[in-house]
């Protein structure tokens, strides 16, 4: 049996999808050549040139520009890039990346293959660009195939910010998609006119349409930039934005027939995205206030769990129960009782992975390639990742979340803007696409300004409501029920002296206690004795009263002295 070391297996996992994708691109361009061979625009273009064009298209998807005598194409076909990346990640997950040496092997394999493919591409293909793009592409794909994710600084904050940011980005780029669809519908006659000028027939038009679909994300980003107001350019000296358009002669590509006409558009369209962000921020705030309100209920099954793990549904529970029954049946069939020798967690996960009963597809075994090791520690890692729920309505946590949201917006939008910009033609057409700093700043303002404004308004309204309630409560309290005036230190000392001297408890110091019938009888007997003693003292003279008072503990002596020393009214 032929066996390989782990490093060789990782290299083959990168080599196979890249070679297969190159072969598909070469066959695709060869089919286009066969279908459009009768077109007068091809000239002396041969079938080997079509294969070389397919190799150059494959290198362009990885980031290597196509350089020829009269034109340079550096605008990447994003759809083809994503397809190759998904296929490469799929192969890498059959072997899994364990350490950074595996990443180095994967990156080196990708760079070497791209350098070799420059021989099978169009002349003047850049070897340096091919090596750099191959290394970067393979290393990036390897990051999605780790057995356990390496430690990343502030990973929890970035994850919470991404959960908060996803709906905003979906709304913004969804609006850009709508703008692209409307532009294609409005400019469809011009698109047909440009396409008919090539005389390629039905099959050639279909292949031409497929090639333009590879650049579909480019149009979405351009539509988003047009709606935000930053605009995009198609050649030097051109600019297309919602505030106006400045055009110039452009190449005859059918999709360019959907470009906006040089005329003004309604200015209020620029307020669409901030308004949508404001509404989404209100939904976030409403959910947070309902959570903080009294008696509010939160449905954990329809939201992200507070530990960062989604609640399982009934189908997943049934699958897990069936997996447990499989484990129990395997115990009984081998004559092993679960109480004496329980199956380990790794064996249970292996059985679940074999039967494909995980709700997450990454736990399932691939249909081809080497068997995949289940990611055992994934749930433990996810349990440590906080989600933006409960979303803070104010305070330090909210501002920290917004800072990480701003960082992610700048990185993601700048990367998308750079990938959808480049050149497509002669020297004048080397400035195509959006400007990453302007687009990042525009989307940053579109998202963060409505969010901050929403939470600030809620904070001010909450403080105002507290003040109004306090004023209303003070006005509703009657004068007789007003709280007592604060006592001075002298008054407190006098009251303490009286309480100590007379042995009497005030109403403030008494607490409700359970009084039994026996205690009531004892209190009445003491009261009768004290009243009888006071009568004897009044009849027996002042000396006996004083001697009895010295033995009395209830303060009767003092009361009698006060009565004897009280001033008598005249006439008595």
Where helices occur in 420-565 by DSSP H, the ranges are 436-476, 489-502, 517-540, 542-551, 556-564
Q: Quickly state the pLDDT bin for 293 (edges 50, 70, 90).
A: low
pLDDT of residue 475: 63
Tell me what the mean pLDDT of segment 384-395 comes to.
58
- Lowest-confidence region among 86-95, 132-141, 361-370, 520-529: 361-370
Q: Quickly state the pLDDT bin for 373 (edges 50, 70, 90).
A: very low
pLDDT of residue 351: 52
Total residues found in the chain within this entry: 572
pLDDT tens-digit map of 78-131: 999 999 999 999 998 888 888 888 899 999 999 999 999 888 888 888 888 899
Rg (CA), the chain: 41
Tell me what the mean pLDDT of segment 49-72 comes to.
85
Q: Quickly state the pLDDT bin for 385 (edges 50, 70, 90).
A: very low
pLDDT of residue 97: 85
Give the CA distances from residue 240 to residues 160, 267, 432, 436, in Å, rounded to whole numbers and listed in that order: 35, 14, 11, 15
State percent of the chain over pLDDT 70: 62
Tell me what the mean pLDDT of segment 373-381 comes to.
47
pLDDT of residue 269: 82
Which is more confident, 150 or 430? 430
pLDDT of residue 18: 93
Tell me what the mean pLDDT of segment 517-522 comes to.
60
Where helices occur in 93-215 by DSSP H, the ranges are 100-117, 127-142, 155-186, 188-196, 201-213
Which is more confident, 372 or 74? 74
The label of the residue with tokens 């297309």 reads: 240
pTM > 0.85: no
> Cα torsion for 425, 428, 432, 437, to the nearest 10°?
150
Q: Quickly state the pLDDT bin for 49 (edges 50, 70, 90).
A: confident
Q: Quickly state the pLDDT bin for 348 (edges 50, 70, 90).
A: low
Phi, psi torsion values for 477, nearest 5 degrees: -80, 130
**pLDDT higher than threshold 80 for residue 187:** yes
CA distance 396 to 175: 32
Q: Quickly state the pLDDT bin for 173 (edges 50, 70, 90).
A: very high
Q: Quickly state the pLDDT bin for 260 (edges 50, 70, 90).
A: confident
Which is more confident, 382 or 471? 471
- Lowest-confidence region among 143-157, 214-228, 295-309, 467-481: 295-309
Within 13 A of 277's CA, how many CA atoms are on the CB side?
27
Q: What rounded mean pLDDT belongs to the chain?
A: 72
Given the DSSP bridges, would you call strands 432-433 and 233-234 parallel, antiparallel or unpaired?
antiparallel
**pLDDT higher than threshold 60 for residue 430:** yes
| Contact criterion met (CB below 8 Å) for 74 and 422 | yes
Tell me what the mean pLDDT of segment 296-312 comes to.
37
**pLDDT higher than threshold 50 for residue 555:** no
The label of the residue with tokens 């030097």 reads: 236
Q: Quickly state the pLDDT bin for 22 (edges 50, 70, 90).
A: very high
Q: Is the bond preceding 142 in cis, omega lying within 30 degrees of 0? A: no
The helix (H) or strand (E) run that includes residue 66 is strand 66-67
Which of 207-216, 522-531, 552-561 has the highest average model confidence (pLDDT)? 207-216
Q: Quickly state the pLDDT bin for 365 (edges 50, 70, 90).
A: very low
Which is more confident, 177 or 150? 177
Q: Pull the structure tokens for residue 288.
A: 């947070």
Q: Quickly state the pLDDT bin for 507 (edges 50, 70, 90).
A: very low
Which is more confident, 528 or 358? 528
């Amino acid at each position: 049996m032929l066996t390989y070391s782990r490093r060789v297996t990782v290299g083959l996992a990168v080599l196979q999808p890249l070679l297969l994708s190159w072969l598909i691109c070469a066959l695709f361009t060869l089919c286009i050549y066969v279908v459009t061979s009768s077109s007068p625009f091809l000239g002396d273009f041969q079938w080997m040139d079509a294969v070389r064009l397919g190799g150059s298209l494959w290198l362009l998807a990885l980031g290597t520009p196509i350089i020829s005598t009269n034109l340079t194409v550096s605008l990447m076909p994003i759809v083809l890039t994503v397809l190759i990346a998904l296929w490469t990640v799929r192969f890498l997950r059959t072997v899994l990346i364990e350490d950074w040496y595996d990443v180095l092997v994967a990156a080196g394999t990708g760079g070497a293959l791209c350098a070799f493919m420059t021989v099978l591409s169009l002349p003047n293909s850049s070897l340096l660009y091919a090596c750099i793009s191959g290394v970067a592409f393979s290393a990036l794909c390897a990051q999605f195939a780790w057995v356990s994710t390496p430690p990343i600084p502030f990973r929890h904050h970035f994850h919470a910010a991404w959960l908060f940011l996803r709906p905003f980005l979906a709304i913004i780029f969804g609006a850009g998609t709508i703008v692209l669809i409307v532009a294609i519908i409005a400019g469809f006659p011009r698109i047909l006119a440009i396409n008919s000028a090539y005389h390629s027939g039905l099959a050639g038009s279909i292949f031409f349409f497929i090639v333009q679909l590879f650049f579909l994300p480019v149009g979405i980003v351009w539509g988003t930039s047009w709606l935000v107001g930053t605009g995009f350019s198609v050649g030097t000296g051109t600019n297309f934005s919602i505030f106006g358009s400045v055009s110039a002669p452009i190449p005859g590509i059918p999709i360019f027939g959907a470009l906006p006409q040089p005329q003004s558009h309604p200015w209020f369209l620029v307020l669409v995205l901030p308004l949508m962000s404001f509404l989404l921020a209100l939904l976030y705030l409403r959910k947070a206030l309902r959570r903080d309100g009294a008696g509010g209920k939160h449905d954990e099954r329809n939201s992200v769990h507070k530990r960062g793990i989604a609640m399982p549904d009934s189908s997943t529970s049934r699958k897990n129960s069936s997996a447990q029954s499989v484990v129990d049946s395997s115990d009984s069939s081998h004559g092993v009782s679960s109480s004496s020798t329980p199956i380990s967690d790794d064996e249970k996960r292996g059985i679940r992975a074999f039967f494909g009963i995980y709700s997450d597809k990454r736990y399932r075994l691939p249909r081809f390639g080497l068997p995949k090791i289940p990611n055992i520690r994934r749930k433990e890692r996810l349990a440590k990742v906080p989600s933006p729920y409960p979303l803070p309505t104010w305070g330090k946590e909210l501002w920290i979340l917004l800072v990480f949201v701003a960082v992610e917006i700048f990185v993601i939008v700048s990367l998308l803007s750079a990938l959808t910009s480049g050149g497509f033609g002669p020297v004048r057409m080397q400035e195509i696409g959006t400007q990453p700093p302007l687009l990042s700043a525009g989307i940053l303002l579109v998202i963060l300004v409505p969010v901050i404004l929403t939470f600030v308004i809620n904070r001010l309204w909450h403080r105002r409501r507290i003040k109004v309630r306090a004023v209303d409560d003070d006005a509703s309290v009657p004068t007789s029920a007003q709280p007592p005036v604060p006592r001075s230190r002298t008054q407190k000392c006098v009251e303490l002296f009286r309480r100590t001297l007379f042995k009497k408890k005030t109403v403030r110091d008494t607490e409700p206690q359970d009084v039994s019938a026996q205690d009531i009888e004892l209190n009445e007997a003491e009261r009768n004795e004290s009243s009888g003693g006071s009568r004897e003292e009044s009849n027996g003279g002042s000396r006996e009263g004083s001697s009895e008072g010295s033995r009395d503990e209830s303060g009767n002596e003092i009361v009698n002295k006060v009565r004897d020393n009280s001033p008598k009214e005249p006439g008595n």
